[in-house]
Amino acid sequence: MHMETVITRKSQGYELVDSGAGEKLERFGEVLLRRPDPQALWPKKLPEEVWQKAAASFTRDERKGEWEYRGDVPKRWQIEFGGLKFWIKPTAFKHTGLFPEQLSNWNWIRSVILADVPDLSKSGAIGNKSQYPGGTGIQSVEILNLFAYTGGASLAAAEAGAKVVHVDGSKAAITWAKENAEISGLADKPIRWILDDARVFVEREIKRGRKYAGIIMDPPAFGHGPEKELWKIEEHFLPLIENCKKLLADKPLFFLINGYSAGYSATAYKNNLLPLVEKFGGGIEIGELTIEETGSERLLPAGIFARWRN
């Protein structure tokens, strides 16, 4: 199995203008932002005066990180990206609410769901049997999205016709995701917004006898749930994966694992999906998510993935 390099390229909503020396210069809509990125271990191409045009720059010292603004920068602004709309807002952790490298995963989720939609009533991939609220006359797959953040994957799945259970431990992130759904014209889609710890929620779903046609997860290296539940990937990832497998439908569609800051290889994630091939068939893709720098052959590494499809 080869490692695939997946590339997000310049679009109207997003662009990687330059990178290097541990930083990246990005355009979100019409706004330039300058942020640290330890993967940018090469020289910058553009002169410093171009970087200084950034409307906001994130700086960090030993104690804290903060944004420094130049001129009148909105507290948040809308962009269109990957067929969806997002509110962009610089946060205290240098993030903006959008991980553009995830575009490939969103398109993959869409393609898997749409490929199955004409035969949903026959496929056995029904998660929890209920009619899709849009009145299509077919039963809908149900997708579970854990560590779901501001909702890109949830919105892509809902747009493709799935019912979605969106779980995150941050109330602010869920509010943000709902607002993204609204401006994307998806507010009426069947998305359940769940504020909960991922491990606790999955354990409850097992007891309830719930089943899902697809599972998405983007586990951080470290974090906390809404009740201060501790998440450490080296301790909690394996039990969570095993519990998630118990939630899969009799004939599931997919299982997608993203990784960014934990330092693991995509091969490590692949090894956790191999039992699905043994049980259900299908195949696994693994690779690296990257962003192409404008006017350059350089690719900024931005994460890994392993995804199984039936």
Helix-, strand-, coil-residue percentages of the chain, each rounded to 5:
30, 35, 40
Verify that 185 and 276 share a domain, yes or no.
yes
Give me the amino acid identity at 264. Y
* Domain range enclosing 67: 3-88
Report the pLDDT value the prediction gives residue 118, as an integer from 0 to 100: 52
What's the first-to-final CA gap in the chain, in angstroms? Answer: 17
Residue 128: what pLDDT? 47
Query: What's the confidence (pLDDT) of residue 182?
Result: 98
Last residue of some domain: 36, 60, 88? Answer: 88
* pLDDT score recorded for residue 117: 60
pLDDT number for residue 262? 58
Name the pTM for this structure: 0.91
Low-confidence ranges of the chain (pLDDT < 70): 1, 117-139, 261-262
Question: Is residue 183 domain-shared with residue 160, that is, in the same domain?
Answer: yes
pLDDT (tens digit per residue) in 268-303: 999 999 999 999 999 999 999 999 999 999 999 999
Clarify whether residues 53 and 164 are in a common domain: no
CA angle, 224 then 244 then 131, to 5°: 110
Would you state the structure tokens that stand for residue 17, as one six-digit string? 């203008």
Predicted pLDDT at 1: 65
Instruction: Label residues 286-301 b or e (16+ Cβ within 10 Å = b).
Output: bbbbbbbbbeeebbbb
Asked, for residue 248, whether it belongs to a domain, the answer is yes
Domain annotation covers residue 95? no
Please tell me the predicted confidence (pLDDT) of residue 231. Answer: 79
CA atoms within 13 A on the CB side of 32: 14
| 96, part of any domain | no
Token pair in block for residue 48: 């410093």
Task: Return all residues near 126 (Cβ < 8 A) that are at least 6 apart.
Answer: 120, 139, 140, 141, 142, 213, 249
What's the structural domain count of the chain? 2
| pLDDT score recorded for residue 46 | 98
